[in-house]
Chain A
């Protein structure tokens, strides 16, 4: 790497199994950190609680979007086939809801699914390709088989020495600085 200027933006602790990560996450949570995160190769059961995360708003969003979809379908089918250009088909009433139910349903699913996908982009930071984890060279360990805690330097609680001590206290034996190349300016968490 020819990159010359690096700045330290936090600290990474690497663990070898999910259970020690869980214990460590509880420790960091109890210490009062807010700008921190865990990185794991697969979702670890119980980690949300250990990190003190609030439950995701996705279900509410998906349901709301789905209901809007049903409303849109109602307006679309009834509005076009009964009001705008009424066509009598097979002797059915103009507002024959029975024949529109399949479209109500499909529009519920369509709107709901598109909202879920869009929300994933927003909530999971998809589309933000860069991360200090790449610069620090730990990303391949995380997506492979190891578990990491990242403490961001922009946390109120953060000081480099303290952060290291905290991670050491959780039993972490592989602690590295989190670095970022100068020209990048990404959110850490």
Chain B
């Protein structure tokens, strides 16, 4: 009757004719067929990298962290850079599963499971670095966890490093529980689809006897909502607390009040870039382009450019206030970042995080995999360098010129960095093989709603 509003409608989340039955077939196919040669090749490569991580970690533990490049004044370097980087990667998963859920963004469903898995694995990778940095990880329990001990000494709860212990362990645990709760009904489907008794047994045990009973659904939905409600402030708190590691100190370039929201925005930025990087490969590998559509990619790219601008805002405000505040140490710290010995790292950061993502203003770029893929890869690089710039450049120039120093990473540093990617990607590959990569149950809700309305869109 009135004007055609289809150009304003929400983008379709499915391509082609998708039915409830066909949905299950598509999503569970990778679980139920023998891995392809490409998968074996991929895991051989990532497994090798993971082995490098294990070797470098073992070498570090045996010889001590002197094998790293860190030395006073640059006492934190690759280890903390990697820690912050990996924690940040995880944040996109929680954002997608919790915040977008609370805001009823239905497109999240296609990518949520994958991103949540990333969160859990990224936290696992992140945890390795501070533990290794303690030098004697087997004593970390004594230093970090407040348990009654013979000396009667307890951790210093005023230390942001101790806050990290609480924040990161809570975050890892809650993310894993949230992820598992979402998986439950899908595991039950996997159990009931399984033909081989062993598969049936494993998925049966994992699904904890889920029966799809509505008396259970009633509590389940509430629990899911509560998990989302808890995870939303949790994800903000985690990267804020990570930023406190730096910001509560009085080091120029570290002590600045915008750090908490700036770190959260940066974490979401890098996390989304990583989700995009991997999910594009995943959907191609498992032929799921009709469930993780170009519309999904476009929406993710919009979040990437939004968070890129937030990060750019923080860079600009930091520079402005460094000048406006008039504190000579602050002014020097920022001049040194842009023009000092690590200027190359600073400009890599600015280019990859602020300049290049501006290309995403164009719809064509957002929707073309070949055009957006280099951009999201560069964002991954840029966000690693952001942490490098913050940590290393602020430390290598101490207050007194006599205490200035330089920083050079060693081969072991690079081995651990590259190896952590190996650990992460190996876990992701295993996940793609053994668990449903798309939240089938949630997708069924959306599918049944859109079918009962007789259209492909809301």
Contacts and interface: CB of A to CB of B under 8 A. Distances in A.
A120 B225 CA distance: 13
B59 interface: no
Contact of A42 (B209, B211, B241, B444): B444
Given A113-B177, A120-B181, A39 B158 contact: no
A165 interface: no
Contact of B214 (A51, A106, A114, A128): A51
Contacts, number: 196
Interface in A91-135: 92, 96, 99-100, 102-103, 105-107, 109-110, 112-114, 116-117, 119-121, 123-131, 133
B444 A41 contact: yes
A43 interface: yes
Given A102-B244, A107-B166, A124-B219, A48 B174 contact: no
Interface string B428-458: 0000000000000110110010001000000
B226 interface: yes
B214 A40 contact: yes
Given A40-B217, A105-B233, A81 B158 contact: yes
Q: Chain B interface mostly helix, strand, loop or mixed? A: helix
B158 A58 contact: no
Residue from the set B24, B146, B185, B215 with the largest chain A CB neighbour count within 10 Å = B215
B167 A102 contact: yes
Interface residues of B, number: 61
Contacts of A81: 154, 156-158
Given A48-B214, A106-B237, A129-B209, 5 more contacts: A37-B213, A47-B217, A106-B167, A117-B181, A139-B192
Interface of A: 17-19, 37-44, 47-48, 51, 53, 55-56, 58-59, 62, 76-77, 80-81, 84-85, 87, 89-90, 92, 96, 99-100, 102-103, 105-107, 109-110, 112-114, 116-117, 119-121, 123-131, 133, 139-140, 142-145, 189
Interface of B: 20-21, 24, 146, 152-154, 156-160, 162-163, 166-167, 170, 173-174, 177-178, 181, 184-185, 188-189, 191-193, 204-205, 208-223, 226-227, 230, 233-234, 237, 241, 244, 441-442, 444-445, 448, 452
26 contacts: A17-B452, A19-B452, A37-B214, A39-B211, A43-B221, A47-B214, A47-B217, A48-B218, A81-B156, A90-B158, A102-B166, A102-B241, A110-B174, A112-B230, A113-B177, A113-B230, A116-B223, A117-B223, A120-B223, A124-B219, A126-B210, A127-B208, A140-B193, A142-B211, A145-B21, A189-B215
